[in-house]
């Protein structure tokens, strides 16, 4: 039996009629504001080449680790899902057959954000009017593929249709930014900027780190055999990224550790690190020292600094060795900020010219650490709920736990942080709705007046992110 | 003044009328489903002998550490409550007098799950129509005792009245399972199975561990002086438990630590452990290694593996020395899973034949660790809220925090985990109600359709537990 | 445009009409009960001298680190806010200009408890009828100053108008309590008592600790060169504080660590500590040992013991060096209680004569550690949500997470813990409202009858605090 697919206009709004009416009014004021996506992982090649996407499976399943991790968790192998192996050994190549796996198991996503994002994509982006299930799998597969081949579904057309004012991608320090250059050269007006993500030349545990340093020296024309040269290479590279539109850097360390060593100690540590001789503790100290250096450079060049700590990467050994990184096996870890950030803050924390945006995968720190820190330091702001917590309940907990100590104005609006380009409107829509829900609660119990809530709704949807990221 | 005791048919349902109507409809679909109780601590002797229970106090107070811990916390001594001492020194023996202590202090339980379970027992099981208080204490005591002496209140009669399809008890590796054998021999059709709980031959810190190993060798007819023999004894014992209906094992370690040592290291460690020479660290490593071995055996013999870590047992020294174990003095501790489980998962985690059900007393791990792990690994599922968190608010937090990353289908329905047999219908009823409340919220804000919610309600109440525990 | 300032009589109450009606009825029963403020930091000099406060800025901004930390977090310097420097270097002295900074940035407080406290003070205490904004800043400044100069706004008059039955201040072990003596000598009937806070002679890391010990010996006329003498000095000082009305002690340690050393070890440790030679670990052990000694003394003299651990004090180095302590830079830290308190509990925990009230800045321990501990030990009770968590959402979380394991009767009502005297009615009003909201939820979903909820509302607002603090 085919079931109609209809997104309820009141979705996510509270049950109580009067509060729902407030949420609805607030949402009306912000739902059509342009999207600013200041941090994410879309592929700039899409916008550079503007080539059509291949098919529904290659667009919506294979690259989306949210989607295939759930299927994998229920015993469907990554081979069956067509995830490519490192050694090139065979996996399923019948894209339609893989699509059926999603369709047949779509009930697994009940109650998850993936379900709501996919339904939004199906309904709003592709105009499908029945729900996905075994019976509609082929209809879906064919309809989506057919649309993807049309002009209206090319990357730039969707970018415009999505009302994206600006999107930031994330590139490694060694990226030549050719796609960003191509976008600029093309004359297309879509604003796609990069962000400086130097993990592969900062983290001594990164695959190929020592070689990466060599490449870092070459790409910057700098002698990186000294600590001073290494810092100079960062400065040059940051400048180059900024020239390609970057307004931010991004740092994905295992912990939030920062360090504040003397120059002599930095020099000595760097010599160990660059020759691959650093111990685990020294590697941690080095990552932490570079964060402090990055903060100093941010004060100089104005790039906003994003810290994304606390993911235990590639936790599933078998999957990592057979399929590689980013296969849905990253697991959050307990993360401490108060002591960890102190060295950086001792040096730069009182400087209002510094702009650090803190993220976490450990929700316990919202009320205990991050909101109190952001509610005090002029240099610190709170990023939105991240990754596993970019969901209705995650957003609700964030506002409930962070607002009272940090206020709204030490937060920075929403980040979609996604590779799944088509889900961007869905994700921003969820964020806008959930912020309006939270505001409607504050209005309903008289903690805010509705006119203030209206101002805040626009701030949270648009103004804060624009200001915080200087976009 | 006597106050009527009436369980409201809408208890625990949300205030909003429309959402309440959804919850009510969903609950109607599941309230009469049979109870599957896959993990608990009822005494198999009850069902083997089918003898009447003694009196209200001995049935409802003395064995229920939830009940007497609250009274103790307010200054009533365990002696006054008739809890037997280790050295046999005198305690209160007047059962009626002890019952009065509960009645006179029944207000202490306001807002606690014990209150709702007891009221359910009083009202539904015993048909009492006034609330418990000083004035009704004798009436309660006499009425309950009178009923307990009747056929209708014998253990097997209640088992049938409670509509229990299957109940699992928990026995130590050294138990001869005579009561389970007696149940089978009796011809009674009630399904009572055991579960393999080998802590007393796995945990070097367990009282009498070295002697327990000797007994383990004898009961299995195996030479346990070697690591290989020790593992063989487990294999045999698991087989025997399985032959008595067990479909699961259970492991109550202080932490979730697992290990993955070489065979040589296992052999050397075992020699230290079995002679009582292991250090605290070695004991921890040994417990962790045995968990990994148990996982391997689960893949072979199909028993589902339950891990219940994180209880600081017998925290109150004075109580432990005078009254012994399980006296309401077990306190949850911060518990880490992501690093702790990695050795086990490195060896067996990608194997869909392994079924591990994870429990926690540390709610912070729901969204940070357990839901992401269960939402990825095919071998991991999430057990329901446990012990202190087996309560309306605990259940609400579990669904709010686990659903978005784990989905519903990586959870396993409800466990009552209780010694309090009479409270089993009450506990399952609370779980079914709270799941319907959560589902009604997802329906009310349009995250789920009501037909899907109906399917899920039945899955959470019955289908998932049956499948997960192979019952 | 001037906007009317009106506190809605239903503020903080739930949206659902029927539940709101319950909350309203419960609140009516408790809103006018006298205020007992058993723990706080108001200045006893106010009540001793009864002199008028200076002006709006000096009363409401300069001493309130909740207020100026938010302004500082948004880039307004402490100099601009007139916070005095340690070295006396110049800061803003134009009090009206500072007031304008608050008025111009009042939107920053949206959603924070400071906003609701300030609005309550403006509306209820000062009778202002328009909201604070740039346009009304002068009107506010002048109106408030004018009122402060009148009889009705003198400290004692406000104390009486606020219906305060008793307030406790907090004084160091070295305080001569002259203001408390002056209050007693004055014949004024307001009940202002002290509390014994010995951190400056207990914490070896406290500024001037060694000198403080000397002063401690002098003020008590005791030879504190020995461990025994040191303990004797505490005993005498506690007795003196008790004679000035104290019914409690208070301990603000970095962690909840307690120790239980032999007398010999105590003697040896004390000799290191008193000569300033203790290592960080020894200092921690010493603080922990003194907590255990304080518990023993509490059993003797009946003073209630408050433990307030887990604040990382003076986190912002630049602010600490320029402006000193208590400048809004204290940040909560992860805090462990189960192992930390065990040494103290091993010695005294089973003694119902001991009364320890536990506080936390780490909300994760409510359900995991504190509620289970308080729901078992006769000597332990849970303090209310503290500091950053003294807020509507913080209070909601506390009740949701603590009630089911601890019950209501192992909690102790509300503490305002404030220096901001004028905000005391606002804070107690928020607590009473939020408790009524929680109770109304339990009534609405039939976990409590409304008559029980009414009893509880009065217990939470008045009876429990009076009993727990023996006031």
Closest CA to C166 of C194, C195, C192, C185: C192
Could B331 and C16 be called an inter-chain contact, meaning their C-beta atoms sit closer than 8 Å?
Answer: no
Q: Read off the pLDDT of residues A414-461 as tens digits, 9 standing for 90 and up.
A: 999 999 999 999 999 999 999 999 999 999 999 999 999 999 999 999
Digit-coded pLDDT (tens) for B52-98: 999 999 999 999 999 999 999 999 999 999 999 999 999 999 999 99
Are residues B470 and B435 in contact, defined by beta-carbon separation less than 8 angstroms?
Answer: no
Question: For chain B, what's the residue count?
Answer: 471
pLDDT at position A1 over 90: no
List chain C residues with CB under 8 Å of B75.
352, 378
E strand intervals along B121-257: 164-168, 171-172, 192-193, 196-197, 248-251
Q: Which residue on chain C is closest to A354 by alpha carbon?
A: C75
Q: Find chain B residues with C-beta within 8 A of A65's C-beta.
A: none
Q: Hey, what are C142's tokens?
A: 């002048």
- B352: closest CA of chain C, how far (Å): 32
CA distance A334 to chain B (A): 8
Please tell me the total number of residues recorded for chain A in this structure. 471
pLDDT of B325 higher than 70? yes
Query: With 80 as the cut, is the pLDDT of residue B378 above it?
Result: yes
pLDDT for C46: 97
Q: Which residue has the tokens 């879509």?
A: A190
C94 phi and psi angles, rounded to 5 deg: -75, 100
Supply B225's token pair.
Answer: 């002086």
Nearest chain A residue (CA) to B379: A73
Which of chain C's residues have a Cβ under 8 Å away from the Cβ of A406? 73
H helices of B74-108, in order, are 95-104
Contacts of C448 in chain B (CB under 8 A): 110-111
For the B52-153 domain, the top CATH level (class) is mainly alpha
- Chain B residue with minimum CA distance to A73: B378
* A112 closest CB neighbour out of B342, B372, B404: B404
pLDDT beneath 70, residues of chain C: 1
Helices (H) and strands (E) in chain B, counts: 22, 11
- pLDDT at res. C2: 84
CATH superfamily of B17-50+158-468: Metal-dependent hydrolases (3.20.20.140)
Q: What is the interface pTM, i.e. ipTM, of the complex?
A: 0.97
What is the pLDDT of chain A when averaged over all its residues? 97
Residue of A nearest to B378 (CA): A73
Between chains, do A333 and B373 touch, taking CB under 8 Å as contact? no
B441 neighbourhood in chain A, CB within 8 Å? 15
Mean pLDDT (whole number) for B122-131: 98
Name which of B367, B403, B446 is nearest A111 (Cβ-Cβ). Answer: B403
Are B376 and A3 an interchain contact pair (Cβ–Cβ within 8 Å)?
Answer: no
Q: Do C368 and B12 touch (CB under 8 A)?
A: no
CATH 3.20.20.140 residue spans of chain C: 17-51+153-468
C404 with B111: Cβ contact below 8 A: yes
Conformational region of residue B412, where left means phi above 0, alpha means psi within -120 to 50, and beta covers everything else: alpha
At B328-338, the pLDDT tens digits run 999 999 999 99
3-state secondary structure chain C: CCCECCCCCCCCCCCCHHHHHHHHHHHHHHCCCCEEECCCCCCHHHHHHCCCCCCHHHHHCCCCHHHHHHHHHCCCCCCCCCCCCCCCCCCCCCHHHHHHHHHHCHHHHCCCHHHHHHHHHHHHHCCCCECCCHHHHHHHHHHHHHHHCCHHHCHHHHHHHCCEEEEECCEECCCCCHHHHHHHHHCCCCCEECCEECHHHHCCCCCCHHHHHHHHHHHHCCCCCCHHHHHHHHHHHHHHHHHCCCCEEEECCCCCCCCCCCHHHHHHHHHHHHCCCCCHHHHHHHHHHHHHHHHHHHHHHCCEEEECCCEECCCCHHHHHHHCCCCCCCEECCCCCCCCCHHHHHHHCCCCCCCEEECCCCCCHHHHHHHHHHCCCCCEEECCCCHHHCCHHHHHHHHHHHHHHHCCCCECCCCCCCCCHHHHHHHHHHHHHHHHHHHHHHHHCCCCCHHHHHHHHHHHHHHHHHHHCCC
Closest residue in chain C to residue B360, using alpha carbons only:
C368
Q: Which residues of chain A lie closer than 8 angstroms to C401, CB-CB?
A: none
Select from B18, B376, B456 the Cβ nearest to the Cβ of A110: B456
Reported as a single tens digit per residue, the pLDDT across B134-154 is 999 999 999 999 999 999 999
Neighbours of chain C (3+ CB pairs under 8 A): A, B
The Cα–Cα gap between C453 and C22 comes to: 9
CB pair distance less than 8 Å for A447 and C73: no
Query: Could you give phi then psi for residue B130, rounded to 5 degrees?
Result: -125, 155
Contact C378 B74 (CB under 8 A): yes
CATH 3.20.20.140 segments of chain A: 17-51+154-468
Enumerate the CATH 3.20.20.140 domain ranges in chain B, comma separated.
17-50+158-468
pLDDT at B2: 84
Q: Inter-chain contact B111–C448, Cβ cutoff 8 Å?
A: yes
Q: Which of B5, B15, B72, B335 is the best substitution to test chain C (most C C-beta atoms within 10 A)?
A: B15
Instruction: State residue C70's pLDDT score.
Output: 98
Give the pLDDT mean for A29-54.
98
State the smallest CA–CA distance between residue C363 and chain B in angstroms: 10
Dist. CA C382–CA C411, nearest whole Å = 5
A17-51+154-468 topology per CATH: TIM Barrel (3.20.20)
Domain topology for C17-51+153-468: TIM Barrel (3.20.20)
* CATH superfamily, with its number, for domain C52-152: uronate isomerase, domain 2, chain A (1.10.2020.10)
Q: What is the predicted pLDDT for the residue at C455?
A: 98
Q: A interface mutation test: which of B368, B370, B453, B467 has the most A CBs within 10 A?
A: B368
* CATH 1.10.2020.10 segments of chain A: 52-153
What burial class does residue B3 get, using C-beta atoms within 10 Å of its C-beta: 0-12 exposed, 13-18 middle, 19+ buried? middle
Set of chain B residues whose Cβ sits within 8 Å of the Cβ of A14? 445
Residue A103 in this model has a pLDDT that exceeds 90: yes
- Checking if the pLDDT of B1 tops 70, the result is no
Residues of A within 8 A of C13 (CB-CB) are 445
CA dihedral C35, C38, C41, C47 (to 10 degrees): 60
Is A19 in contact with C15 (Cβ distance < 8 A)? Answer: yes
Res. B248: pLDDT tops 90: yes
**pLDDT-derived band at B219, boundaries 50, 70, 90:** very high
Express each pLDDT in C95-124 by its tens digit. Answer: 999 999 999 999 999 999 999 999 999 999
Of residues B373, B444, B447, nearest to A116 (C-beta): B447
Contacts of B364 in chain C (CB under 8 A): 364, 368
Taking CB atoms and an 8 Å cutoff, what residues of chain A touch B349?
A: 316-318
Confidence of residue A126 (pLDDT cuts 50, 70, 90): very high
CATH 1.10.2020.10 region(s) of chain C?
Answer: 52-152
């Amino acid at each position: 039996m085919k079931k109609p697919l209809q997104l309820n206009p009141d979705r996510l709004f509270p049950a109580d009629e009067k509060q729902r009416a407030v949420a609805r009014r607030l949402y009306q004021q912000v739902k059509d504001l342009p999207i600013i996506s200041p941090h994410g992982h879309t592929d700039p090649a899409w916008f550079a080449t503007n080539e059509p996407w291949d098919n529904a499976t290659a667009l919506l399943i294979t690259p989306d680790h949210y989607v295939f991790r759930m299927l994998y968790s229920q015993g469907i192998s990554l081979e069956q899902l067509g995830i490519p192996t490192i050694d090139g050994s065979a996996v399923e190549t019948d894209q339609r057959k893989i699509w059926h796996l999603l369709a047949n198991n779509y009930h697994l996503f009940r109650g998850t954000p993936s379900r709501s994002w996919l339904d939004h994509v199906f309904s709003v982006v592709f105009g499908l009017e029945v729900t996905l299930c075994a019976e509609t799998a082929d209809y879906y597969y064919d309809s989506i593929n057919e649309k993807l081949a049309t002009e209206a579904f090319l990357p730039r057309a969707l970018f415009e249709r999505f009302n994206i004012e600006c999107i930031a991608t994330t590139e490694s320090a060694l990226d030549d930014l050719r796609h960003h250059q191509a976008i600029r050269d093309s004359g297309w007006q879509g604003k796609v900027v990069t962000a400086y993500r130097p993990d592969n030349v900062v983290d001594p545990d990164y695959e190929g780190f020592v070689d990466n340093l060599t490449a870092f020296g070459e790409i910057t024309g700098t002698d990186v055999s000294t600590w001073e040269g290494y810092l100079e290479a960062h400065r040059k590279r940051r400048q180059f990224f900024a020239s390609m539109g970057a307004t931010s850097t991004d740092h994905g360390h295992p912990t939030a550790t920062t360090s504040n060593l003397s120059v002599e100690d930095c020099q000595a540590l760097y010599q160990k690190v660059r020759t691959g001789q650093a111990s685990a503790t020294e590697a941690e100290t080095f990552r932490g020292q570079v964060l402090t250096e990055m903060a100093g450079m941010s004060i100089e060049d104005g790039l906003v600094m994003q810290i994304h700590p606390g993911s235990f990467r590639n936790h599933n050994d078998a999957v990592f060795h057979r399929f590689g990184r980013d296969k849905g096996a990253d697991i959050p870890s307990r993360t401490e900020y108060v002591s960890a950030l102190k060295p950086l803050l001792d040096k730069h924390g009182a400087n209002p010219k510094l702009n650090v945006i803190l993220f976490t995968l450990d929700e316990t720190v919202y009320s205990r650490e991050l909101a109190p820190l952001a509610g005090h330091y002029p240099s610190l702001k709170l990023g939105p709920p991240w990754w596993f917590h970019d969901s209705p309940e995650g957003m609700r907990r964030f506002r409930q736990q962070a607002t009272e100590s940090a206020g709204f104005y030490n937060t920075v609006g929403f980040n979609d942080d996604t590779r799944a380009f088509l889900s961007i409107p869905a994700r921003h829509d969820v964020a806008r709705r959930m912020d309006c829900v939270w505001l409607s609660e504050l209005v309903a119990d008289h903690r805010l007046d509705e006119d203030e809530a209206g101002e805040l709704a626009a701030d949270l949807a648009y103004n804060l992110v624009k200001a915080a990221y200087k976009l």
